[in-house]
Amino acid sequence: MKKDPQTLAVFLPALRDALLKQGLSAEAADFICETVKCGGSPPKIRTLAQYQDAWIVCRVAEDLLTALDDGSEAALWSSALAHRCFDFEDAYLAEHGHMPLSPAPQDMEGPSGSA
């Protein structure tokens, strides 16, 4: 029987492993997973470094989940984090007149801005 990736019991270990592979520290990966597990909201993104990390987490979660709108705890948290990224992009654009530079690591495709 295949395990449902939308359940936290399956999603969180996979998320942690994937975050470590993307270069996040074990402490950061554990904090993120614990936040999801406890039902906490993603923190507000205030810096470009936080934006890059949040964007990586969004991409990893998106790759792991089979649906982003099924109402599961994992999907709800992932969507909330994506909205935090959008909010940061909007605020950055308003302040600087352009989108933040691409948050993607070199080996990951993603959006790109211009400076």
Model confidence pLDDT, tens digit, residues 40-91: 889 899 999 999 999 999 999 999 988 877 888 999 999 999 999 999 999 9
Q: Is residue 2 part of a domain?
A: no
Q: How many domains does the chain have?
A: 1
Q: Is residue 43 part of a domain?
A: yes
Model confidence pLDDT, tens digit, residues 65-77: 888 778 889 999 9
Q: Is residue 50 part of a domain?
A: yes
Q: Is residue 103 part of a domain?
A: no
Domain limits for position 30 = 8-96
> Would the CA dihedral through 69, 8, 59, 85 be positive or negative?
positive
Contact 101, 112 (CB under 8 A): yes
Residues of the chain with pLDDT > 70, as a percent, come to: 85
